[in-house]
Structure 1
């Protein structure tokens, strides 16, 4: 419902960051997995979303950033650690 979505958006806004978010949302027909491509959050966002019985969230590696690193010929050592996926 709209109240839950506003609460979710508020929590994500409070913990904005650079990592893509994947949401598992419970609805009337069961659970749905949603990759929120335009939403970026910090590592603290997952704990901020804890305790919601209708939602499970996780952060995923930023594939686009990893592909840019690979595509421009720089190594992960030059840019910091690279997480394989």
Structure 2
């Protein structure tokens, strides 16, 4: 897991973490996001493109995110910021 996170973070351009008053397009903890391409989650579970999950952690100032998916598979995955699209904002 740590090796995969380091690879993702090292190869990803900065994507700032949202704070109060920041631009609305930035991804924040508890936002609901859609996966734009398939990824491997923890325990090598394949999470397909189109899966929707909840951001549970922000890594490297928003370069990557830990996302919990429940449909179509139960998985936790570290996902590059460029592979996510916000579908629902967390309440402020």
Length-normalised TM-score, structure 1: 0.34
Per residue, is there more helix in 1 or in 2?
A: 1
Length-normalised TM-score, structure 2: 0.32
Bigger Cα Rg: 1
